[in-house]
Structure formats: structure tokens, C-alpha cells
Amino acid sequence: MSNEWWRGGIFYQIYPRSFFDSNGDGIGDLYGITTKLEHIASLGVDAIWISPFYKSPMIDFGYDVSDYRDVDPIFGVNEDFDALLRKAHNLGLKIIVDMVLSHTSDKHPWFVESRTGNTNAKADWYIWADPKPDGTPPNNWQSIFGGPSWTFDTRRGQYYMHNFFKEQPDLNYHNPAVQDAILEECRFWFERGVDGFRLDTANFYFHDKELRDNPPKTDGIAGATQLDFIEPYAMQRHVYDKTRPENIEFIKRLRALSNEYEGTMLLGEIGDDNGTEISALYSSGDDKLHTTYSFSLMHGRRTELTASLIRSAIEDHLAQQGNCWPSWAFSNHDVVRSASRFNTKNTTPDLAKLILAILCSLRGTAFIYQGEELGLPEAEIPFERLQDPWGKYLWPEWQGRDGCRTPMPWHSDKKHAGFSAAKETWLPVPDEHQGLAADLQEHYGDSTLNFTRALLKWRKNYPALKSGDIAFHDFGDNALLGFSRTTESEKIFCLFNLSDAEKTVSLPVKMKKNITLQGKQTGPIDHEQITLPAFGFCHISFTD
């Protein structure tokens, strides 16, 4: 594959705690992933993104790293990762790993030393500031997970900054030694053979050295936390606590490191009020990120699936400068699963298939989250079983992120759906997921699992769907999404019925032939119009 193997490719995201438990402790692990790689390869994806598996106190379940170079014992040992990487490569799968570089755990040796006083070698490796004369925090910055971004440390007599939980202190990237140390942590995994990094919160590395207050957001509540109710974090314009100009220069240093390892790539997660603009800025040219991963299609707990929702996200990106390449996802480990978020009535396999078909038809790189190939809905977790600290904080308004993190259902007739032989798993497997287990779907030709395999295999036959330009068509109906994907030699019209009612559509293009994926529930197609059933779709080869 070329060095741009990721461009237009399909990634599969794994949340390792919930993928497969190989040792019976109720928590997924790296060897468990290795044993299930054939399942992933059978889908036809190009690469895998694995969420953090490094040593961690697990306050934020791996996004609070205490040792970047060592696998946490609950996931295995470093040699387990090496074996996973070898097998994935033998199956033709690339592997990118999640690097959490904006902050560490408060148990990381760097922070343990830093908090001992202001004269030690790592005293300024984190963001420390004196309290105001009245003892309050240095400024008005707010944590995404609730409360101020500052926690007072009695040993140092100062506040330290954290954009997330107080156990996740932010690194001080204004210190060149911090940058150098982080680059060496990244080099460790490049040397081990990974194909790239998914960079968590890639625009959060730098803060304003003057610690100026963020201004209020006066034009409505921002969606930076993906919530659809008011939280203090969304009441500010985040101009000083993240997305600082200096951040770009460090991104360039990361890219220079990546360039030393042929065929590797950098995927940056961007979260900001103007995420599309920042995403383009961070991935323009050939000296920054290869592509960025935004939340444009993942907002809210309940969202209506409309043509304008999809179209505005893609067209906003197309309007940016720099010929940047986008990445898209409808689900991940932080948001309500798309099968539930886009449907307030009931979960239907046709909707799950439609969402996958849209994702794999858009211009950009696509990310499928574990369980989407099974059409899993969001799980409802009783309060006493909640694990996510953010969910406990937000309860009862929201259960947090646990609903999309429950264990993968592998076997319909086994305890915990075959995820684990443990007496109890870290999160429960809902009964609804048991009935959508992979083994059950193997035997039904029209299952979401078999549809996903057929879709990805079919897509490989049409280069326009991987690398072609995109142009939208207007039908005057927000339940109809239509766009063309074109290259010099191929033109494909893509049409999707986003509603639960049948739609008849006049074709805006001159049809050459119907190339709709076989087995989809589309109505008859002639050269002038098509009838699509609820959540139906089609792809048509056309001429000018």
C-alpha cells in the first residue's frame, strides 16, 4: 500500500476494556484483541485504532497515563502488543494507537516529582499558578468534566491546571524539555512498529502563558462537550485554555518525527467551538497532521438524522483552505451510539445499515466503532453499575459514556454474550445486545454484520467512493440526502432516505447503470426516478 494508505480508508476503533476478555477477569485485554483479529479483517477494514492500553490508575480508563512505555497489567504486557501488531500486519491491517499527550495521570513520575516543590527538576513540567489573594483559582477556566480547571495542591501551595479530571494534570508545553520528552515517548512506539497515532485532544497542548480569563460565549451554547444541556464549560469561548498559536509548532515537530518512519500517519482529535476551522488549520499542507477527527457528526444524546446535518458538516470542511483531508465517524467511545442517537423510537437494523452506508460513501476517511457492525444500540446502565466518573457527576441528566462502552457481544448463548468467563464484567452486557451477538448474525445473510462485510467489499470496486470529489444535490426534503462522488473516470450518485417512510425521488443525473449493493431494500429503479423504502439507499453510476 502507498504511504497514503489512510486516505479514503476504513478504520475500526477498539475500546480494549470491552472488546474481548481472554483471562476471565471481566476486562478486555490485548490478547483478547489478537484472538479476534480475524473478525475485524473479515469486515474489510484497512486499519485499527486502539484506545489507550498504557499503565494507568484508570480514573479515566486509560486516558490518564502513568507510564507511556508500559502496557497496563490489566491489558497484558508489552510482548502481547508486539504479538497483536505482528498478527494484524500479517492480516493486512494497519495499527494506530491512542497517544494522550496533553496531560498525564497525577501518578505519573513526572507529576509526582513536580508537585514536591518549585525547585525540583520537573517543577515547571506542569501548569502551576499561585492563587488569587482571596485563595480562589488563578482564572475562570472550566474543566470539561465539571468544576474549575484548577485544583489546589497543599504541598506546593499552588494550583495546577487540568482540562479534564483533577487526576489528569496538564503538561506545560511552553517548557521545551516537556516537548522533547513527549516526542521520545512517541518515538518508543514508532520504533515498536505502529503505523501511526490517534492524538487525543490534539489542540489542547498549549495554554495562554498570561492565564487570561476566557470570554463568555454570547452567541448560544457551544457543543464542545457533545451534551445537549447546559454545562459551565460550554458557556465560555475557549480562546486561552486551548488551541493556542504555539500548538501548531509542536504539531509540526510531531509530523517531522512521523516522517522519519515511512508510511506512518497522525490523526488528530479536534474539539473546539469552531472545530471545522481548527481541523483544517491543523491538517493543511504537508507539515502538520495527516487528517483530523472531529465531532461534527457526533453531537448530542438525541439528534435528528437530516440531510442538512450531513451536508453542512462536509460542506463546511470543503470551504476551508489548504486542501485538508477529513475523517468522519458517527460513533466512538465518548458519545451515544448512532443507532440510538439518530432514532428516538426504536432500534432497527435498516437504520444501522443506512448509517454505515452513508459513512462509507462520504469523502474522507471513515471510522467504525466496535459494535457498529452489529448495529448495537446505546446500553442503559443502572446507576449502581456506572463506572464513568463523568456519568456519576451528570446523573440523572445523563449516564455518561458507559452506554457506548459495554462489552462486545460475541455469542448469543453464552454468559456475558461470550465476552468473558468472569462472574461479573466491568460493565454489564444488556439483554438487547445478547440478541445481536456476532455468532447469531453470522447465520443471517441480511444481518448488519454481513451487510457491513458486503458493503466494504463492494466499496473497494469503486475508486470514486474512496478518493473522488463530492457535490451535494438539493431535493427540498431534509429526509433525502443525495450527493455525487466523481473522479475523471467514474461518476457515482449516492441517495439516502433518512426517514422511516417510503420516498419517491426524481433522479437529478442521467443514469448509466444501477450499482446498488445487492441485497438492499430499494424499490424499482428506472432512468428517471427511484422509490426508496424507509432508511433505503442506492448508488447509481451516471454520465454527464
Q: Is the peptide bond before 396 cis (omega within 30 degrees of 0)?
A: yes
Q: Which three cell numbers stand for residue 293?
A: 477527527
d(CA 324, CA 334): 25
The catalytic position among 191, 210, 260, 431 is 260
Nearest-10 crossing angle of helices 176-192, 246-259? 30
User: How far is residue 525's CA from residue 514's CA, in Å, rounded to a whole number?
Assistant: 8
User: What angle (nearest 5°) sits at the alpha carbon of residue 389, between those of residues 384 and 395?
Assistant: 60
Q: Distance between CA atoms of 506 and 523, rounded to whole angstroms? A: 13
- Tell me whether residue 97 is exposed, middle or buried, using C-beta atoms within 10 angstroms of its C-beta: 0 to 12, 13 to 18, 19 or more: buried
Give the SS3 label for residue 513.
strand
Within 91-175, residue ranges assigned H as helices are 109-114
Residue 276 and residue 180: Cα distance in Å, rounded?
29
Start-end of H helices in 274-377: 275-283, 307-318, 338-341, 349-359
Active-site residue 502, yes or no?
no
Nearest to 118 by CA among 174, 151, 160: 160
378 is catalytic: no
The alpha-helical segments, DSSP class H, found in 366-478 are 389-394, 431-434, 438-442, 448-459, 463-467
How many other CB atoms sit within 10 Å of the CB of residue 291? 21
Q: Which of 195, 200, 241, 402 does the annotation list as catalytic?
A: 200
Distant-in-sequence, close-in-space partners of 310: CB < 8 Å, separation ≥ 6: 297, 358, 362, 481
* Catalytic residue numbers, as ranges: 200, 260
